[in-house]
Amino acid sequence: MPYRAPVEDFQFLFDHVVGLDQVTSTDRFSEATADVTAAILNEAGKMCEEVLAPLQRAGDLHPARLENGVVRTSPGFPEGFRAVAEGGWVAIAADPEYGGMGLPMAVTTAVNEMMSAACLSLQLAPLMTQGQIEALEHHASDTLKATYLPKLVSGEWTGTMNLTESQAGSDVGALRTKAEPNDDGTYAITGQKIYISWGDHDCAENICHLVLARLPDGVPGTKGISLFLVPKFIPDDDGNPGRANDLRVVSLEHKMGLHGSPTAVMEYSGATGWLVGEPHDGMRAMFTMMNNARLGVGVQGIGVAEGAYQHALAYAQDRKQGRSLIEGGTGTILDHANVRRMLAGMKADTFAARAIALANAVAIDMETATGAPEWSARAAFLTPISKAFGTYTGISVANTGVQLHGGMGYIEETGAAQYLRDVRVTAIYEGTNGIQAMDLVGRKLSDGGEAAYALIDEIETHAERARETLPDLAEPVWQATETLREAVEWMVARQDVNDRFAGAVPFLRGFARVLGGHFHLSAALAETGEGARTRLARFYITRIMPEHAAHLSHATAGASDLYALQAEDFAA
């Protein structure tokens, strides 16, 4: 499927909306100059357009398959992954000590989005590896770092995350996989894990699994879980893949989408593993990887939104149907008001979600560079919003893309349906969007709303300044922010956690809608109130942002009506 990397949009957001200059002005990221960032974006965009995008349909039509215990990936995927690895795109943010570029997470986020738009099935492999690199950098011993990080950074080896078991999905503490100490300081890992993205493949010479398991003295629940690094092939004395470990792929899942991404059921039968971090502290170590992955998954949704939008726009610019009601029209369905409404909504929502994710990445970079608690709080607060709203946007935009195609959207040959099938799982994995929302109204508001209020104050101050230049856009953003402030106050005041949880999802969406208005207003101001970005901002602020009121009304309704329902009320 043809794809044009939106390099100019990323550069505009970096320069005028999310403040990448704050990051590059720090000592930690001083080498990430404007020229370097532009070169990275352009080269990555070219690779996505020319190498990855042509693999999108091949991955869907020719799924990964398990043959005699070996996974064979879709045609062209090994070559595509090599292009990603050789370009250095696996480890843009990784420590230069181990071969990484040491660039900001904001740049990684932009590149990940482009790869997701071009071929989401393949992009999952470097995303999982990026998360493992970060977990090892923070928690592994020096010996493990020296052995594994250079290979993971180079893309010679890839990484996975093994949490889920059949009886332990979101309730990770219910896992049964066990780890028995060996005499040599290693551990024997035994158990079965499901839903392991890129659990086996033929694109790299070794696959390194991060596995959650319980030591013999581990207490029940999440506090008794430890984290282990379990490679497919045990490295020899020279650090090269040696003998096969005692693990295997039981089967590959038959999925709704992402057919090119091998999702494995993994069996560990006394496999040799190495402890990562401290005993019984596995969840903290794994969350280093999961938080990285949650932003990354939100970005996957945004990438699919961009791809689905471009696909729908190309169709609208070519398809002739009905009579044009405007003078001097194109003669295509782009002349129709409802088609324009759909396209404008797709583009405006994609911009809003992209800006939120990049602002999240900037906060992570500032936390890394300065260690300031306010940046840490902002990064933590924006992560569930980025994940849930990014994936919601991907699903919504892809769904609209099918609708815009009409009957042809339901025909697989057009490719419109693939975007929707592929992106649908992103709202489920790496913590369902419901769990993200519960985290937002729970742990992320446990500071009394301090991080939320800091964002709200910033948005209101910005809107007040914008009243002088763009009053018709600034005023509704300011008013929406006041409504959001009231919703935060309501959430913080609740004693019954179910009152918060009952409205968690609409609260997250309402917050995201206001953030989207704020970033669209920033774009319009940067354009001095005239041009395509201003027109798009006016569409979003006038037509889409008002949804925040309904979301926040729902969010503050409490839980009593839900629990007033009796079990029989749910009967079919």
The reply to whether 50 belongs to the active site is: no
What is d(CA 505, CA 526) in angstroms, rounded to the nearest whole number?
32
Domain 7-152: state its class.
mainly alpha
* Pairing verdict, β 247-252 and 65-67: unpaired
- Where does CATH 1.10.540.10 sit in the chain? 7-152
Calpha distance 91→49 (Å, rounded)? 20
**CA-CA distance, 557 to 226, in Å (whole number)?**
40
What φ, ψ does residue 241 adopt, rounded to 5°?
A: -60, 125
Please report the beta strands in 348-426, taking only residues with DSSP state E, as ranges in sequence order. Answer: none
Separation in Å, CA 116 to CA 63, 109, 238, 359, 364: 17, 10, 35, 19, 21
- 337-370 helix and 532-539 helix, angle to the nearest 10 degrees: 100
- Would you give per-residue pLDDT tens digits along the chain (572 residues)? 689 999 999 999 999 999 999 999 999 999 999 999 999 999 999 999 999 999 999 999 999 999 988 999 999 999 999 999 999 999 999 999 999 999 999 999 999 999 999 999 999 999 999 999 999 999 999 999 999 999 999 999 999 999 999 988 788 888 999 999 999 999 999 999 999 999 999 999 999 999 999 999 999 998 999 999 999 999 999 999 999 999 999 999 999 999 999 999 999 999 999 999 999 999 888 877 777 789 999 999 999 999 999 999 999 999 999 888 898 888 999 999 999 999 999 999 999 999 999 999 999 999 999 999 999 999 999 999 999 999 999 999 999 999 999 999 999 999 999 999 999 999 999 899 999 999 999 999 999 999 999 999 999 999 999 999 999 999 999 999 999 999 999 999 999 999 999 999 999 999 999 999 999 999 999 998 889 999 999 999 999 999 999 999 999 999 999 999 998 999 87
Which neighbouring-strand residues pair with 269? 190
CATH class of 158-280: mainly beta
3-state secondary structure of 214: strand
Six-digit token string for 15 = 């320069």
- Looking at the chain, the domain(s) classified CATH 1.20.120 span 433-572
Instruction: Output the pLDDT for position 293.
Output: 86
Is residue 506 classed as helix, strand or coil in its secondary structure? Answer: helix
* Sign of torsion over alpha carbons 5, 11, 16, 20: positive
Say how far apart CA 28 and CA 366 lie, in whole Å.
Answer: 9
Catalytic residue among 50, 430, 530, 568: 430
Phi-psi group of 437: left, alpha or beta (phi > 0 → left; psi -120 to 50 → alpha; rest → beta): alpha
Q: Looking at this protein, which amino acid is placed at residue 501? A: F
Q: Are 326 and 335 in contact (CB under 8 A)?
A: yes
The helix (run of H) or strand (run of E) holding residue 432 is: none
Would you tell me the crossing angle of helices 373-404 and 416-423 to the nearest 10 degrees? 140
* Cβ-based neighbour number of residue 68 at 10 Å: 5
Run of H or E residues at 269 = strand 263-276
Residue 234: which of 226, 242, 223 has the closest Cα? Answer: 242
The CATH 2.40.110.20 portion of the chain extends over 158-280
Q: Distance (Å, rounded) from C-alpha 363 to C-alpha 374?
A: 9
For residue 279, the 8-state DSSP code is: T
State pTM to two decimals. 0.96
Torsion angle of C-alpha atoms 528, 530, 532, 533, degrees rounded to 10: 30
Encoded tokens for 263 = 């999702």
In the chain, the N- to C-terminal Cα span, in Å, equals 42
* Arch. (CATH architecture) of 433-572: Up-down Bundle (1.20)
Interhelix angle 105-139/7-16, nearest 10 degrees: 80
What is the pLDDT, as a whole number, of residue 1?
64
Q: What is the pLDDT of residue 421?
A: 98
Cα–Cα distance, 97 to 336 (Å, whole number): 56
Are 81 and 125 spatial neighbours (Cβ–Cβ below 8 Å)?
yes
